[in-house]
Amino acid sequence: MSNRVVVTGLGVVSPVGLNKKTTWKSLLAGKSGIDTIKAFDPEGLQTTIAGEVDGFDPEAIVGRKLARRMDRFVQLGAAAALEALADAGVQIDSSNCNRVSAMIASGIGGIMTLSEQVGVLHEKGASRVSPFLVPMMMPDMAAGQISMLLGAKGPNYIAVSACSTGGDMLGQAFEAIRRDEVDIVFAGAAEAAICPIGVAGFNACKALSRRNDDPQKASRPFDAERDGFVLGEGAAVLVLESLEHAVKRDATVVAEMVGYGSTADAHHITQPAPGGEGGARAMNRALEVAALAPDEIDYINAHGTSTPLNDKYETMAMKTVFGEEAYKIPISSTKSMTGHLLGASGAFEAAVCVMAIANWAVPPTTNLEFPDPDCDLDYTPHVPRRGRIRTAMSNSFGFGGHNASLIFQSVE
């Protein structure tokens, strides 16, 4: 018999808040974290806006020396993990460290460090390249550094699946606990790709919104005037734990993770499969693992990127899975406020689902002013929806045809 898996802590750093409390408050208020890029001068780029984490001080989190040896994505992940540690009230020592894991992934890794050091190479020569380049740019280094910070000696690895990375990492952690490989996993993802090469690269594949004159309305999931996603950054870490272990240590259980489905489109390097066929199979698999019927889902946090094909095909996928029930389920895309956190989006939006269950509220989809006739479900426009949420689903779909769907449930 598989272990039951529960959530006992959360940590979040996002464009709308430096912790889970501020982030949740901002989401319910419909507050946007998208603005003109401040980290560098974006002049000359086709897109000059992003969802940046404002006011973040990594030295206050991990100290000056360690912060200087971490790429920004690792710094963000460390902040989320340490908040999650405090939230869960976990004590890690020699008696349990081998049964505690850190699995914090990244879809892209240390692109800021890599970009900066390529500049050093060309301007100053090979001898001036930082000895920390390789360990700072590696996408597994959030997991590595955070395991050191926590003293977690259990399995330490990551899953990388583009924008499904966070969802798949939580799914892999879920399975590790279910098969009794570990008792606790600090699971999630972190991303920080708001740099010239990052923006230019996504511009080159025509993925980003160019609504530079109105940043806060640029991310428009399911809206007829959407023109691409807005790049965001951030991190989210969930403390996943076997129910037996959580009860034994008298932990507060926030929600239970009950389902995970992962599929491949096998279709195209960037475009989703027609009709959202792969996403539909991921949702069906998550429902199967959770032993839930489609009419038992109370909320869906959609992938909802604000790109033409994704929003249309995700809508079609939800209709395939839920049939007429799809029209009754409150759905929202919090990317309308945060932008797209790339590899971290699945972990962040899973955290949103858990907070929705805990706080009895569905955050809104903002900027939904001109509904697309092809996107005709209940996307919770503009204002939050209050009411009990027993079960929530989070969808993440990535370049390369990766699909992940997660399901969380309240614990009575």
As annotated, the active-site residues are 163, 303, 340
H helix or E strand, kind and range, residue 236 = strand 234-242
H helix or E strand, kind and range, residue 51 = strand 49-51
Q: Running DSSP on this structure, what letter comes out for residue 52?
A: -
Strand partners, 395: 405
Whole-number Å distance between alpha carbons of 351 and 83? 13
What is the full DSSP assignment across 255-291? Answer: EEEEEEEEEE--S-SSSPPGGGHHHHHHHHHHHHHHT
Whole-number Å distance between alpha carbons of 80 and 238? 9
Alpha helices in 325-395 (DSSP H): 335-338, 345-359
Question: Strands 385-386 and 361-362: what pairing?
Answer: antiparallel
Helices 141-150, 72-88: axis angle to 10 degrees equals: 40
Whole-number Å distance between alpha carbons of 400 and 155? 26
Whole-number Å distance between alpha carbons of 403 and 281? 9
Whole-number Å distance between alpha carbons of 333 and 363? 8
Q: Is 231 helix (H, G, I), strand (E, B) or coil?
A: strand
Letter string b/e over residues 343-374, b meaning 16 or more CB atoms within 10 A of that residue's CB: bbbbbbbbbbbbbbbbeebbbbbbbbeeebee
Q: What is the dihedral of CA 407, 397, 300, 319, to 10 degrees?
A: -110
From the CB of residue 334, how many other CB atoms can be counted at a distance below 10 Å? 28
